[in-house]
Amino acid sequence: MPELPDVEVFRKYIESKAMNQEISGVDVNTKRILKNVTSKKLASALPGLSFTGTKRHGKYLFLDTGDGFSVMLHFGMTGDVRYLTDGDKTGKHDRVVFHFDNGKALAYSNVRLLGAVSLVKDIGTFLGEKEAGPDALDYSNDQFKEAVGSRKSMIKTALMDQSVIAGLGNVYTDEILYQSRIHPEKKASGLSEKEKNALFNNMRKVLKKAIEKDTDVSRLPRTYLLPRRKEGAECPSCSGKIEKKYVSGRPTYYCPRCQGK
């Protein structure tokens, strides 16, 4: 489920479990998940080091080693992490497992192989190469309005464009647009000041709420679309029907009555 809130929850999880434990070895079970690094390199660079800190930018997660480079984790659509303690077994989809000298381990799992694991020397350089825009939660209201308002694409496309805003994906973009009562196909540059302000405020509200609830959709407020993100579901606000339409090639759920064009 990795969008910004999911990756932030992963980050906190790793921060609370896997810090400052000496890495004893790295198992690469699926070489295809590695990008710009060989399994040999990964397995030789990390032993003796430990994870000393974490950083997240958009959907990218970085585990610092304190030795001038970080492990970069990207999760695609199905990535996850698990801290393995005594007796926990690795699963079929654990693509890379970082073992610690205390017997525990951190597993990066991914059903589909759309994600990536890599080593990154300089995070800023890496993000520059990826053309990542500012993180969604680092934007000021004015910067946000300028970045979004200058786009000629549909608002949903602009919000999901990682070079404009890093971190928003298909699911949370639907929620943000729903909360803001804005149709996903409205032209970004045609939004009013009021609409842009609402978008900015709801973006922060939705992302923070999702993080606060550990991205458990069943714990989100009743006024949220996510728990009912299904075609034909009842709109939590007007009791109309939720519609599904492909926007920018992605399945998009919205309430045509609340989110007029």
CB nearer to DNA: pick between 93 and 104: 93
Choice between 46 and 210, CB closer to DNA = 210
Cα(249)–Cα(205) distance, integer angstroms: 26
Backbone angles phi, psi at 76, to 5 degrees: 55, -140
Rounded Cα gap, residues 25 and 27, in angstroms: 7
CB of 56 to DNA, least distance (A): 12
Q: Which amino acid is at 245?
A: K
Of the pair 186, 204, the CB lying nearest DNA is at: 186
Nearest approach in angstroms of CB 101 to DNA is 31
Q: What are phi and psi of 63, to 5 degrees?
A: -110, 110
Report, in Å, the least distance between residue 201 CB and DNA.
21
Beta strand 94-100 with 53-57 is unpaired
Nearer to DNA, 10 or 100 (CB): 10
Among left, alpha and beta (phi > 0; psi -120 to 50; other), residue 56 is beta
Q: Residue 57 forms beta bridges with which residues?
A: 60
Residue carrying structure tokens 């939705």: 206
What residues pair up with 246 in beta bridges, in sequence order?
Answer: 251
CB of 103 to DNA, least distance (A): 28
Q: Where does this chain bind DNA (CB under 7 A)?
A: 1-3, 6, 32, 58-59, 74, 76-78, 92-93, 111-114, 130, 151-154, 157, 160, 162, 169-171, 244, 247-251
Least spacing, CB of residue 65 vs DNA, in Å: 23
Whose structure tokens read 């309005």? 145
Nearer to DNA, 23 or 171 (CB): 171
